[in-house]
Amino acid sequence: MKKKIVTLFLSAMMATSMLAVPAMADDATDAEAVAEEATDEAEEEAAEDVEEDAAEAAEDAADAIDLEGIDVENATIGISIYKFDDNFMTLYRTELVRYLTEDLGFNEKNITVTDGKNDQAEQTNQINNFITAGVDVMILNLVQSSSAPQVTDLCNEAGIPVVYINRQPEESESDRWAEEGIKATYVGADARQSGTFQGEEILETANGGDINGDGKVSYIMVQGDPENIDAQYRTEYSVKALTDAGVEVEELLLQRGDWDQAKGQQIVQDALTQFGDQIEVVFCNNDAMALGALQSIQAAGRVVNEDIYLVGVDALTDALQNIQDGNMTGTVFNDHIGQSHAAVEMAVKFLKDEEVAPVNMVDYIKATSENAADILALLQ
């Protein structure tokens, strides 16, 4: 439901910015007044539309997934998250369970959610327990995506379909599911898109990221877990967006921060000591690390959007708030609502013995000062 609202609202906002351009105003003051009025009216209309659509979307929610033939009261689902102590995956898992129970009517007692504690052996035990318990379907956020072949075989032998989320297994593995008719699928988002959006956000700044005007953009890169395809692609494609636009870049530092705020803070603190004003852009593979980076940037007396740029990914509430306040340049909405709903949709298809594509991707959405407040309002 929320996903639909976000999409509708963002289209409304795009219409708003088009309306805000005064066609034939004589002077600046008139133009501003016209623009302001147009913006106010359009915003009011957009807000009303959103409220109406929200009611409509609520009714649609149950229809979005065809539950006919599914015994929602008795269906059992095993869910394992790579670790509970991860900001983004906490939002994701909360929405996943909420959607299953509140919107679709699955019985909370039959849904088991376990904490993989960032330990593949521990998580594999949990999966074996799901098999022993004979769950109807699993939704798994693997600790190591490289263990997908082994886990898939375990589930397949037990006749239990599996929906992988967030950490994408190798393409050769998802190809195998399709070739061998194995009931496994992946739901996620293409991290090349989020990386590209981060790069574009830097290109869209007043000086395209070249604060000191020396003809190149000097950056540091705070990476997530490098085993993870999201970390690899965001690292590569954020910079690629700049070089594809013909911008010269200089990498001062690339360091892993494992998606963790405290690590992000430490890495950026050390980098600011080492490179000082040379750093023009801080790329973080996610918002948790960007929020840590922001703490160090402020402690060093640097000012985001004036003498340094900072971008993340996920659109955590704190990040959106900081963008709105001018303390972060941008982020990218990692749509945990769309992804969790799509994961459920695939699980339900498996339960109904329907065909499921091996890979299912949900779009990212760019989040900047222009739409941060709106996304924030909708996520709260």
- Site for ligand GAL, rule CB under 6 A: 86, 88-89, 166-167, 224, 228, 230, 259, 286, 288, 313-314, 334
Rounded to an integer, what distance in angstroms lies between the CA atom of residue 346 and that of residue 65?
A: 10
Q: Which is nearer to ligand GAL, 10 or 313 (CB)?
A: 313
Nearest distance, CB of residue 294 and ligand GAL, angstroms: 15
Q: Is 126 helix (H, G, I), strand (E, B) or coil?
A: helix
Nearest distance, CB of residue 144 and ligand GAL, angstroms: 11
Bridge-based pairing of strands 331-333 and 281-284 is unpaired
Strands, E, within 60-126: which ranges? 77-81, 111-115
Nearest distance, CB of residue 235 and ligand GAL, angstroms: 12
Q: Which is nearer to ligand GAL, 230 or 374 (CB)?
A: 230
- Residues 41-67 as b/e (b if ≥16 CB within 10 A, e otherwise) read ebbeebeeebeebbeebeeebeebbeb
Q: Give Cβ neighbours of residue 108 (< 8 Å, ≥ 6 apart).
A: 97, 101
Q: Which is nearer to ligand GAL, 279 or 362 (CB)?
A: 362
Q: Which is nearer to ligand GAL, 88 or 197 (CB)?
A: 88
Q: Which is nearer to ligand GAL, 184 or 313 (CB)?
A: 313
Nearest distance, CB of residue 79 and ligand GAL, angstroms: 15
Rounded to an integer, what distance in angstroms lies between the CA atom of residue 138 and that of residue 79?
A: 6
Q: Give Cβ neighbours of residue 373 (< 8 Å, ≥ 6 apart).
A: 320, 324
Nearest distance, CB of residue 195 and ligand GAL, angstroms: 11
Distances 364 to 14, 160, 172 between C-alpha atoms, Å? 16, 30, 24
